[in-house]
Structures are given as C-alpha cells and as structure tokens.
Structure 1
Amino acid sequence: MLLNRINFKFLIKSALLVGFISFNFSHAQEIINDDVVEVEQTKDTIVNKTRIKADGVAAVVGDFIILESDLDREIAQLKAQGADLKDVTRCELFGSLLESKLYAHQAIQDSIVVNELYIKSRTEQQIQGILAQTKGDMQGLLDFYKKDSEQALRDEMYEINKNGYLAQEMRTKVIGDIEVTPEEVRTFFNDIPVDERPIFGTELKLAQIVIIPEVTEESKQAVIDKLKGFKKDVEENGSSFTTKVLFYTEDSASKSTGGKYTLNRNQPRMVKEFRDVAFSLQEGEISEPFETDFGYHIILLEKIRGQEYDVRHILIRPELTQEAIQEAKDEIDKVRAKIVDGTLTFAEAAREFSDEKETKYEGGQMTNPVTQDFNFELTRMEPELYAQIQDLKDGEISEVIQDEDRVNRIKFKILTVTDRIDDHEADFAKDYLKIKELALQDKQVDAIAKWQKETIAETYVKVNGVYKDCDFKSNWLKK
C-alpha cells in the first residue's frame, strides 16, 4: 500500500538519523580486511589462540566507510530506543545507513557549514550526562568505550555528532522547502485506490478545566531571598556556583551538567525572560533573581563567544502552602458541581474559571500537540492522558484529577469528551489535515528518491560482502 511505503521510509530514516547522533563509540574507524584471521591474545599470564572475524568494510560512500560493526551497533541502538524491527530486514536498515553517509558526504561537498560550537556543546553535555550516571568515573567510561584517553573519546564523539548534524542539514536542504497545494492534496487522495484508502482510528475531542494553586507572596519572597544569598556567597566568599547548582537547582534537565546551557542570539532557545537576562550580562556576572513560568532563576554568564553565550543557572520554585492547595481543590470541586447540575456548561465554566490560558478561551478545548488540531486518536494518545479519559462517555465529566507538568508541581483538572469519531475510512473533507500531511510526505519521498538517484550516480559507492545481494530501493550497486 502507498501509505505503508510512505510511513516505512520515513520512520526508518528518522529513527536511524537519531541513532547516528547517539554516542555508542566502541567501534573502530580504521579499514580492516574482511576475512577471518588467527589472533594471539595475551592477558596477564594467560595465552590462547582464538578464531575471530575481523571487522570488515561493508561499504564505502564518498569519503565515508561503513564497517560491519556499524550496522550491528545501529540495530542495537534502535532496539534500545524501543523501535520495532521485526518486519524490517537487515538490507533495508543497511540501505538507510548508506543514505545517512550519502547525506553527510554531499553536505561536505556542498560546503554546508557545521555549527562547531553547537557540536562541542552537545558533546560536552553527552559526556557530563554519562558521567552523572557513572558517578564521575571517567576511567571507567574510557575502559567501557575502549579509548586510551579522554581526548580520544571526545574526538570520536565530536565526529559522530558532526556527521549526524551534516546528514540532518543535508536532508533538510533537500526537502525543507517542499510544500503541497490544495489541488495536489486532492490529486494525491483521488489517486489512492478506494480499497487502499487508510483507516483512521477512533478520535476524540477533549476539553479540560484546570485550577492551579496560587503561590503566596511570602513563598515567592523566600525563594528570591535564597537566590540572593547564593549570589552573595559566590561573589563575596568565592563559593562555587556549580556546586550550588548540584545541591539546589530544580531544573532536572541541566542539573547533571552543572546548570549549563549554550545560548545563541540567532537561534531562540529558552523562554524570552531567560534570554533577555542572559544577553544583558557581562562575563563572570551573576544576575539578580528573576521570574519565568518555571519559577525563579539566577544566571551566571561564563563565556561569550561571538553569538554564543555559555551560562549556568539555578532554578527554584516557590513552595505551595497546604492552604493554597486545598483552596484550589475546593474551587474545582465547586466548578464541577455547577457543570453537573446544569448551572454552567463546560465551555462557560472553562472561560470563567480555568487557569490554563491555552485552553481557557476555547471553552477548554484541547489541541493535539502533534497534529495541531482538536482530534486525539486513541491509539496514539499519550498513555497518561488515555488513562484519564478511557472510561468517559461523551459529555460525561471526569472526577477531579490531581496532575502536574513542567511548570506546575500540582494542578487540579476535570475533563470531558466533547465529540467522538469512530474508526472510519479516510474522508477528504473531515480528514484534510491528515491527508495533507501524507501528501507532503509522498512528495518528499519523491524528492529524496530523485536526489539520491542523481547523487549516487555522481558519488563513489562500493558495497561489499553479503550486502551485494541486497535488493536496494536505490541504485547503491550501480547496476
């Protein structure tokens, strides 16, 4: 089926591109003959002879070699990420590996600029993340990845990250500007045989009302005073900012790296308030406490490198009092009672009482973050949300649910199902956005196929060993 072809190609490519940027670095990069050799292995006083298969070159694409172990490593990485590979052949995965190297090779030929500071920052974050899990055991890390020095590990991590970056940038260059017109969407849909049109699963429209406990001014001031104390201790007593991050920050995403982030003036990252403060500092300066939706921060600006700013920060969220929590719970109980007894509709109650700005003015209607419409397909719904609505009948109001998110450690909500669309064959009018996305993917697949055909013809490609017998979609064997 056409849709199966589209989904298979894109899912495998996406998964492999993610895998290439991973950091499993135990494989060698030198060219070794693909044969079986007898090696004498010595460890302490034990000597024995073992028959082993050398790590042979499976393929060469331009300036890149692919070792037999590279594919084994990528398969292991995909399985570790939870990918279901039972219906995917080794040849298909190897073809995707060839594609990645072709992207990276052509990116170099096209002089695509590598953001070296980004790659270095990513590499450093990876190292610090691993060390956080191994309690700072660098030697153990080197032994595990079979590296002689920390620099050798960093160099290989850098190269793998760089090549993954090049491959992604090249792929974006090939398909980034592709769009589909309404007429192309209609033609795509009409060209699908009636008996092959996709079946879309049951979809729900959901609405929610959220009540968030109010933080007291006393709690806010307590956090501000604590952060001011940290700032004073570092500036006047020489205390370590990084140590305070490890002990006190509530930003779990950056705690393992000592609160470090690299910001770029030309590439928005972090919320506006955070960026504005960071870009106003001088090197070595610590900001005054400031507020974002996530809580209160102080920032230390460590280094300015052109447009790049290396910062560390401490995040602390004000404590919630039991009184504030109980007041929020009591309020949402009252709101639910008014909806159940008919005093207010769910939409009216949402507009009047909900604290969630994103849904409040839509009568509580929730937007699917993936599709950007109001429909949630049951089989693709986040497990936590599914558990909260799975037993709801249309129009029924859920019991009060205590929940949390990245911003709020406690919030209360009620949910309802405002509409239900059962399993159905794709309908052009009802499912236009989904069909448009499939049409776009199909057009992108065609663009990639054309680009690959032209680029393979112009690039040195040699496939070795058992992979010569693969039936590749692209002409890697140049027959």
Structure 2
Amino acid sequence: MTNKIKFSLILGIFFTFLSVSLSAQLEKGKLVDGIAAVIGNEIILESDIEEQINYAAQQGTAAANKCQVMESILNNKIVVYEAKRDTLIENRTEAIKENANLKYNQILGQFPDEKTMLAAYKFRTGYEMKTAIEKIDSDQYYGQAKYQSITQKADVTPNEVTDFYNTYKLQLPEVKDEVTLAQISIYPKLTESHKEEIIGRLKKIKQDILNGESFESQARIYSEDPGSAPNGGLMKNISKGQMVKPFEAAALNLQEGEISDPIESEFGYHIIKLERRAGKMYDARHILIATTPTADEIETAKKELDVIKTSIEQGKITFKDAAFKHSDDKRTKFNAGILTDNAGSDRMERLSLSPTLGYQVAGLNKGDITDVFEDELNRRKAVSIVKIEEVIPAHQLTIETDYDRIKQLALNKKRNEMVEKWIKQRIPNIFISIDNRYADCSFQPELKKSILTK
C-alpha cells in the first residue's frame, strides 16, 4: 500500500479551523446557513465545508473531497467543544467578545457607514456580524489551546525525521523560490514645531472636554486610533502589561474620571481618561493623534538612512551592527535585522512577500542592498533598506538542505496522530449528529454511528 500524508498534514497543521481568514468567513453571512452537523452545542454549517474546500484548492490540495473536509472539521469541532469544557483552559469569553467589538469597529472604519459594510458582508445586522466574528475567534482560541495541551510533550528524534522523509519524500512539496532578508527601518523624526502643534491640538481637545464636551464625542471626531475611535475611544478590560509602557504608566497614575496631559508613545500622542480600575484590570478612553511625518521629515529620514547604507557598503559597519544601532524595528534589530515569516522561518517565498518588499528586492542578488524606500512599520510611516542575505532557488525538499522543515512536518504528523487518538477516545462521550447527506462518506466507525437515518 502506498503511504499517503493525510489531508490535514498537507494543509500544514491539524487545525485549519473555520477562520481561514476573517473576510472569507464573513463574506456569506453564514448565520442563515444549512446545518451539516452538531457536536455537543457546536454546529458545522454547509458553507464551512465549502469554504474549506475552496481554501484547500487555493493551497494546491484540490484533490481533497467533501467527506475528507467534513471529517477534518468534525475533528476540529470535537476539540473545540471539549476545550470549552476543560476547566484548565482559561475562559476568555468576555475578552473574546470585547475583541470582536474592536475588530467590528476596525472593519467599519474601512467603509463610509455601517449599512454599506453590512451589505458588503451580507449581514442583516451589526449584531449578527459581531456574533460571527466572536464565534471565529472563540473557535480559534479554544481549539488551539486544547491542541497544545494534548500535544505539548510531542517530539521527534533524528531517526524519526529520517524515517518520515524516506517514507514521504515523493509526496513532499517543492519549495518555491525563497530569500533570506535583513532589514533596517527607521521612523522619520518629527520636528519640535510639529510635536508642539500635535500637543497643542490635544491640549485644546482636553480643555474643550473640561468645558463640557464629552470625551466620547471628541474621541469619535478627533482620535486617529481606528480600533477605539468608533467606540468613543473606549478600551475595556485592559490588563496590566497589555498596553505600551507610557500609556499604562499615565493611565494607572490617574484617578477614575481624571484626564491626563498629552503623553507620547510609539504610536503618537494621547490624552487618556481612566474610566474604571479593578485590581489588575482597568477601562480607559483615549484620543490619539498619530505622529504622521511630513514630506520634509520623511526626506530627512531617507538621507539619514542613506548615510547608514553608504557606511555599510564601505565596510565601516556591518549590516548586523547597523541594525542593532539604528533600526527602530524591535522585531529584528536584535537579530541582525533578519526578517521572518508567520511561522518564524527566515526563509521566505518570494511570492509571499508584500508588494512593496517584493518590488524592492526583485532582480537583486545575494549581498545586494536596496535603495532607501518608504515603508510602513507598526501602522506608522517608516523608511527602510533591505539586504539580500541568501537566495534559495526552487527545489524539492531534501534531508540535507531542509532538515528543519522536514523535522517540523514529522512533528506535525506525530501531533496529528496524538490528537486523532485522543478524539477517538472522546467521541463515545459526546453527542454528535451528522446530516444523512454524508451517509456515503467513509468516516471512522465512531463517527459513522452519528449519521442521521432518513
């Protein structure tokens, strides 16, 4: 019999989850959708299955059929259901609900009004859309938490990695063109007169509030924080350590109802009103004026970074040392400026690079450094240079050149097997009902028993 990697492994991890992407999930307004299965008090909708099939096709796994996808989602939902019953997993219901409201407001900020947004996502009400976002985030959190709990002791030996490679090497995907990149980014510095102008605006807003205007209305009008401005600047249930230090220090030095003077953080200048404080949690409103640089300030930063680039090219300083000394990118400055992808790998596919970054490195070779270009870092204007540290042409995975990647695939497989074994043990103790449209699917016997008869 030919060995095959299971569908879930081809997708990269056991949990593909229902939240492939927020926009894809919201697109159909799925609250008015057909139910394919019920697991405890969790449900699977027909559109969940269709969207996973579409996602699989986009990832090059179009051969996966509806039954395979259904079984994968059933397994995910069983884990989610059990996770919500697990008292050792922190209950984050309130935090998830609050975060859903923030996401809703962020999406709303991209549309002229709520009606237009709801029409675009095919929801009847804001409540329906918020509920859908909350459901996605809840499944994501609880599923991942339980998955990690089940697989926390998983590990693979070098021999197991080699055995995995020898068994599955003909099925392992080809690696597309990759690059390893290092970056130095700096934020343009505002002139003193520009800073004073921002501080002056906030002082006037504060005085207007003290004179009778509501903080909430002023935040809606003036705040440049897209997440909280539509909600009157309100951020609820903030835990200590969650916010940047200048913000937290200012907020926690206030009495309830008191408003701070303008304070500076990495995002700009704020005035803050402490609404409520209870132990290690607090609610606060803020009005943010972002430190958006002028064209002249950006040009000054470009010249500064160009001088740094010249020093690197002349051998006066290494790129690594220059990144540590000058870069404002906290993610990379302590790691020689090396960029990593979402999985933490420093080898990134060229096709997955952002349009700006892909354009800048196009046609460059190992050791080349881009010209200084305008960029965005943490939602702020920045200027950057990028060095091509390594170029890896497209190739088939081999144990000699891709050991770490193959080890991760082998580890994923072991984790999958641990979770699948755990699921089989749990199925007899869970109410599961599957629509008889899936009666012809070759599910594992335990799931087969759950298919409704006509």
Q: Give the TM bin, normalised by the shorter chain.
A: 0.7 to 0.9
Pairs within 5 Å for 1:183-222? 184-193=157-166, 194-222=169-197
Identity of aligned residues (%): 27
Determine whether 1:329 maps to 2:309: no
Pairs within 5 Å for 1:131-150? 133=111, 135-136=113-114, 145=123
Where structure 2 has 5 or more consecutive residues not aligned to the other structure, the ranges are none
Residue of structure 1 in register with 2:40 after alignment? 62
Residue of structure 2 in register with 1:237 after alignment? 211
Residues 1:382 and 1:441: Cα distance change in structure 2 (over 3 Å): farther
Shift of 1:289: 1.8
Structure showing greater radius of gyration is 1
CA contact (8 A) 2:67 2:442 kept: yes
TM-score by length of 2: 0.79
CA contact (8 A) 1:208 1:414 kept: yes
Shift of 1:71: 1.3
Residue of structure 2 in register with 1:394 after alignment? 366
Residue of structure 2 in register with 1:92 after alignment? 68
For each residue in 1:49-95, what CA deviation from the matched residue of structure 2 results, as whole angstroms up to 9, or x when unmatched? xxxxxx6x6433234455xxx21366369869996685443323333
Residue of structure 1 in register with 2:424 after alignment? 453
The one-letter amino acid of 1:298's match is I
The one-letter amino acid of 1:120's match is K
Residues 1:217 and 1:4: Cα distance change in structure 2 (over 3 Å): farther
CA contact (8 A) 1:273 1:292 kept: yes
Residues 1:275 and 1:369: Cα distance change in structure 2 (over 3 Å): farther
CA contact (8 A) 1:222 1:318 kept: no
TM-score by length of 1: 0.75
Which of residues 255, 262, 267 in structure 2 aligns to 1:294? Answer: 267
The one-letter amino acid of 1:191's match is F
CA distance in 1, matches of 2:165, 2:50: 33
Determine whether 1:465 maps to 2:436: yes
After superposition, the CA RMSD in angstroms is 4.1
The one-letter amino acid of 1:219's match is H
Residues 1:63 and 1:360: Cα distance change in structure 2 (over 3 Å): closer
Residue of structure 2 in register with 1:121 after alignment? 98
Give 3-state SS (helix, strand or coil) of 1:469's partner. Answer: coil
Pairs within 5 Å for 1:219-230? 219-230=194-205
The one-letter amino acid of 2:113's match is K
Residues 1:354 and 1:109: Cα distance change in structure 2 (over 3 Å): closer
Which of residues 337, 346, 350 in structure 2 aligns to 1:374? Answer: 346
Which of residues 34, 41, 46 in structure 2 aligns to 1:71? Answer: 46
CA contact (8 A) 2:260 2:271 kept: yes
Determine whether 1:406 maps to 2:378: yes
Residues 1:289 and 1:455: Cα distance change in structure 2 (over 3 Å): same
Residues 1:304 and 1:467: Cα distance change in structure 2 (over 3 Å): farther
The one-letter amino acid of 2:98's match is S
Q: Which moved more, 1:2-11 or 1:113-122?
A: 2-11
CA contact (8 A) 1:293 1:407 kept: no
Number of aligned residues: 438
For each residue in 1:217-266, what CA deviation from the matched residue of structure 2 results, as whole angstroms up to 9, or x when unmatched? 232232223222222221x2221222222322222333333333234426
Residue of structure 2 in register with 1:106 after alignment? 82
Q: Which moved more, 1:195-204 or 1:451-460?
A: 195-204
Give 3-state SS (helix, strand or coil) of 2:38's partner. Answer: strand
CA distance in 2, matches of 1:289, 1:474: 64
Q: Which moved more, 1:189-198 or 1:3-12?
A: 3-12
Residues 1:4 and 1:404: Cα distance change in structure 2 (over 3 Å): same
CA distance in 2, matches of 1:260, 1:189: 54
Where structure 1 has 5 or more consecutive residues not aligned to the other structure, the ranges are 30-54
Residues 1:2 and 1:221: Cα distance change in structure 2 (over 3 Å): farther
Residues 1:121 and 1:348: Cα distance change in structure 2 (over 3 Å): closer
Residue of structure 2 in register with 1:32 after alignment? none
